[in-house]
Amino acid sequence: MASLRQNDKSGPIWRWLFIGQLRTFPFRYIFAVLSIAIGIALGFSVHLINASASDAFGDAVRNLSGSSDAQVAGATSLGFDEQLYTRIYQLPEAADVSPVIEMSAVLGETEARIKLIGIDPFRAGAITPVLIGRQVISDEQSAGRTGGQPSFNINAVYLSDAALDLSKTKVGSFVKIRANGAIHDFQVAGDLPGIEAGQPVAVIDIAAAQWRFNRLGVLDRLDIKRAENSTQSSLARALGKMLPSDARLSGAENEIEKRTSLSRAYRVNLEMLALVALVTGGFLVYSAQSLSAQTRQQQFALLRILGLQKSSLQRQLLLEGLALGLVGSVLGILLGYGFAYLVLAIIGSDLGGGYFSGSTGPIDVTASAIFVFSGFGIVTAILGSFSPGRRAAGLNPAQAIKTSADNLDGAKQPVWLPGTLLILLAGVLVILPAIDGLPIFGYLAVAAILAGAIWLTPWLARTLLAPLTRVSNRDVAFDLALNHLLRSPTQAAAALGGIVASVGLMIAMVIMVSSFRTSVDNWLESILSADLYVSGGLVEASFNADQQEEISKLSGIAVAEFSETINVSLDPTRPPVNLIIRPVQSSQYPLSLIATVDEERAGIPIWISEPAARIYDLEIDQNIRLPIGAGGTPVYVAGIWSDYARQQGAIVMESDDYTQLTGNLERSELAISLQNPQNIDAETERLKAQISNIAGTEPEISNAAGIRNIALGLFDRSFAITYGLEAVAILIGMVGVGATFAAQVGTRIKEFGMLRHIGFGRREIIMMLAYEGILLGLVGLAAGVMSGLAISQILVHVINPQSFNLTMKTSVPYMLLLGISAALLITSGLTAIFAGRRAAAADALRAVNEDW
């Protein structure tokens, strides 16, 4: 505060200094402020979107599990034996237990995806009261006392507001519910006022859930209330001791953690993009401030001679930075809120990533978030002003007042050591492991490379440009341009900072996304080796052994392989993995294996996906227990296959092994190779009818090409926002570069006047500036491409494996990079010419006299 007050005293001068600059070079500051604002806006909106998504999810989980003190959940989506209900009820530590059936279901004509919950209202009433429906339909037979027959309405369903909306049903009407291969009509008896907005939930009686949807004898969850004289931990201990292998102790907090661990990596990647914009903004502030300090060098020198302290001068520039940062931050927070609002309203809280479903709550803005994000912007702007301020304050006033800005640092050899050290530091950082599942060191390495590259730019400019002086037969304009750049590498670097930062990060993202997409594409190619893929269709029906045999014998089918996917929980704090049951050794459709055991050995083999291997830290040949079959089953890891589809991990088990363990022969998926793949459409129709005849319900059949298109479409959609953010960052970077360059040219009016005096034509001056622009662009491009390549490798090999648990092969989109490079060079050349035309048009005589 003291410094502010001091500043107030001498206010008019400072205001005059700053406002004068603003008036003269508005665009320079506008772009600096804009890029800060964009950075803040991106970061803040990503933060808001995620906060509302995870809040909504957390609330929903807590909401649905009510006031239970502990939860036992099935280790697999097959659930657990219902007798566990009795055994847990009898624990002295348990006061009450509410049995629950839980499954995903399809509701009504609109085929709304909902969570279907079966409860015993008597038991749930005290533990999860939110699941108790509020009866809205009038009881037509309310004449209980006049001879009517009251009934226990097990065909009633209670729908949450979101489920009512999605299914477009009304209370009192009948609605079809499809789940687990069955379909049944229920009457909407009322709503679920306790369920949070945005949660599509349907509640039916547990007996109806077991009966109508083939879940007899099993439960999915037990919500437990502890006895008054027992503690949370003694309840957990008692449960831990008696739980069978197919059940797991779970809890609301676990559920929330599961969900956030899935989305966190995605969120971190997006926040990283926001950071990129912010850093670019910081460099633009740096460029703007460097240039403005240079332009005002003589003003500053005069003030110094008049008795102003060095520290006051530096403070002036820092305060200017603060002002830019403040304006940028306020703008950014407003933009960010607006953006978050739009995204939540239009795309949903998963940003198209498909990680959350249907749970969008209100935007929750906290003062601390605003404080942190605007703080980022202000600090970035102040940091951007720090070094120009120091340089301005450090100049010898006596010399500076006489000399014009440009060629003061010409004699100084640019330093390369700090930049090199930063890049070496990055090399060390990439070796370090993730912290708590987040690639923190990876991001630090990205920052180190970026900072190092920018620090090295003056050196790089000199190193790259110096050899050109030896080239003979140059024209004068080129000579002058080269000379100018070589004499003032710092000034060049100021312009280049923004280019290097935005180009580097852009190239890194482009390479990463392209590598990801190419790997996914190749992988899809390798796994989609059958012609047709059949699933049980809307009713999720499965095929029994007889139906399977019958289908296999249908004419036109060369190969038919049946499979089934269930969920299995290996760790209660993580999302369940998919257990895929299919033929492996005898299969016509090989897994995309990346590692296998050398020799077969005794025991049951499983093949795990790469994400599963990373998440659960599993290796080839390792023994683990799977929670299927009575008492769990020991298995060993026979291979690891690459998988881009199931981030939570997947396990493949031989169909025969699974049948032997569980006695379950039902399979709901089918891969078919046709004898006549060229007639695929006709064959699909024919098979659809035949399978429909055998199974009794119409199956869903997709062909390999269709699935691949859908998958890649999903991929592109989830990266669409990434592309969008990239484009914005680049645009701001480019425009910022243009503004910087134009500003630099503006400071050289005198020089152009002089050149005109000694016989240079306008054309030559413009040519000179074009050369300068292109040379600068080249240097920036070189630094940007190099740092971009390095960063892309960090993204591909460190950050993505650490956050998404999958690896990919680098694939450089050369054409795209060439295009970007050409665009950059052309832009910088054109900007230079545009700026030069204005400069060269100025009156030569006036320009030379412009001295004070």
Partner 1 sequence: MNRFAVIILFFMILFSAATWAYSSVPTYPEVTSGKKITFPRDYGSHDAYRTEWWYFTGWLETASGDPLSFQITFFRTRPEIETGNPSKFAPEQIIFAHAALSDPKTGKLLHDQRIGRVGFGIIDASQEDAEVKLLDWQLKRTAEGVFASKVAGKDFQLDLKMKPSQVPMLNGDRGYSRKGPKPSQASYYYSVPQLQVTGSVVSGGKAIAVTGRAWLDREWSSDVLPENAVGWDWTGLNFDDGSALMAFQVRGANGEAVYAGGSFRSADGKKTILSPDDVQLKPKRIWTSPKTGAEYPVEAEFVVRIGGKLKRYPLKPMFDAQELTGPFTPTYWEGAVSTPGGRGYLEMTGYADKIAL
**Contact positions vs partner 1 (CB under 8 A):** 82-83, 85-86, 89, 96, 99, 120-123, 125, 135, 137, 139-156, 187, 189, 205-208, 210-211, 216-217
Q: How far is the CB of 345 from partner 1 (least distance, A)?
A: 37
In terms of CB distance, is 137 or 486 closer to partner 1? 137
Q: What residue has token string 């990801």?
A: 516
In terms of CB distance, is 99 or 575 closer to partner 1? 99
Q: How far is the CB of 598 from partner 1 (least distance, A)?
A: 49
369, two tokens: 């978030």
In terms of CB distance, is 92 or 819 closer to partner 1? 92
Q: What residue has token string 């024209």?
A: 475
In terms of CB distance, is 142 or 679 closer to partner 1? 142
Contact in structure between 212 and 539 (CB atoms under 8 Å):
no
Max intra-chain CA distance, the chain? 116
Q: What is the CA radius of gyration of the chain?
A: 34
Q: How far is the CB of 140 from partner 1 (least distance, A)?
A: 6
Q: How far is the CB of 127 from partner 1 (least distance, A)?
A: 13
In terms of CB distance, is 95 or 579 closer to partner 1? 95
In terms of CB distance, is 125 or 746 closer to partner 1? 125
Q: How far is the CB of 135 from partner 1 (least distance, A)?
A: 6
Report d(CA 654, CA 674) in Å as an integer: 23
Q: How far is the CB of 212 from partner 1 (least distance, A)?
A: 9
How far is the CA of 735 from the CAs of 33, 729, 769, 774, in angstroms?
12, 10, 17, 15
Residue 600 CB-density burial (10 A; 0-12 exposed, 13-18 middle, 19+ buried):
exposed
Beta bridge partners of 204: 118
DSSP 618: -
Q: What is the dihedral of CA 745, 750, 754, 757, to 10 degrees?
A: 100
CA–centroid distance for 301 within its chain? 49
Q: How far is the CB of 193 from partner 1 (least distance, A)?
A: 16
Report d(CA 293, CA 422) in Å as an integer: 27
In terms of CB distance, is 99 or 736 closer to partner 1? 99
Q: How far is the CB of 105 from partner 1 (least distance, A)?
A: 17
In terms of CB distance, is 145 or 402 closer to partner 1? 145
Helix spans in 306-403 (H): 310-346, 367-394, 397-402
State the Cα angle at 294 between 291 and 300, rounded to 5°.
130
Q: How far is the CB of 195 from partner 1 (least distance, A)?
A: 20
Q: How far is the CB of 168 from partner 1 (least distance, A)?
A: 21
Closest CA to 449 of 799, 170, 87, 765: 799
Helix spans in 66-205 (H): 83-89, 121-127, 161-167
Strand 174-179 to 112-119 pairing: unpaired
Tell me the three state secondary structure of residue 665.
Answer: coil
Beta bridge partners of 606: 637, 653
In terms of CB distance, is 146 or 473 closer to partner 1? 146
Q: How far is the CB of 85 from partner 1 (least distance, A)?
A: 6
Report d(CA 554, CA 691) in Å as an integer: 9
Report d(CA 351, CA 348) in Å as an integer: 6
Contact in structure between 512 and 792 (CB atoms under 8 Å):
yes
In terms of CB distance, is 120 or 621 closer to partner 1? 120
In terms of CB distance, is 148 or 427 closer to partner 1? 148
Residue 617 gets the label, from left (phi > 0), alpha (psi -120 to 50) or beta, of: left
N residues, the chain: 852
Residue 26 CB-density burial (10 A; 0-12 exposed, 13-18 middle, 19+ buried):
exposed
CA–centroid distance for 8 within its chain? 45
Q: How far is the CB of 215 from partner 1 (least distance, A)?
A: 8
Q: How far is the CB of 174 from partner 1 (least distance, A)?
A: 8
Q: How far is the CB of 252 from partner 1 (least distance, A)?
A: 24
In terms of CB distance, is 100 or 653 closer to partner 1? 100
Q: How far is the CB of 181 from partner 1 (least distance, A)?
A: 17
Q: How far is the CB of 99 from partner 1 (least distance, A)?
A: 7
DSSP 13: H
In terms of CB distance, is 154 or 464 closer to partner 1? 154
One-letter-per-residue 3-state SS of 462-490: HHHHHHHHHCCCCCHHHHHHHHHHHHCHH
In terms of CB distance, is 137 or 243 closer to partner 1? 137
In terms of CB distance, is 156 or 628 closer to partner 1? 156
Residue 758 CB-density burial (10 A; 0-12 exposed, 13-18 middle, 19+ buried):
exposed
DSSP state string for 197-243:
TT--EEEEEHHHHHHHTT-TTEESEEEEEE-TTS-HHHHHHHHHHH-
In terms of CB distance, is 152 or 814 closer to partner 1? 152
Please state, as a whole number, how many other Cβ atoms lie within 10 Å of the Cβ of residue 254: 18
Closest CA to 153 of 177, 125, 187, 181: 187
Q: How far is the CB of 226 from partner 1 (least distance, A)?
A: 14
Residue 743 corresponds to which amino acid? A
In terms of CB distance, is 141 or 232 closer to partner 1? 141
Q: How far is the CB of 84 from partner 1 (least distance, A)?
A: 10
Tell me the three state secondary structure of residue 105.
Answer: strand
The secondary element (H helix, E strand) that includes residue 558 is strand 557-568
362, two tokens: 């209100």
In terms of CB distance, is 206 or 796 closer to partner 1? 206
Report d(CA 544, CA 541) in Å as an integer: 10
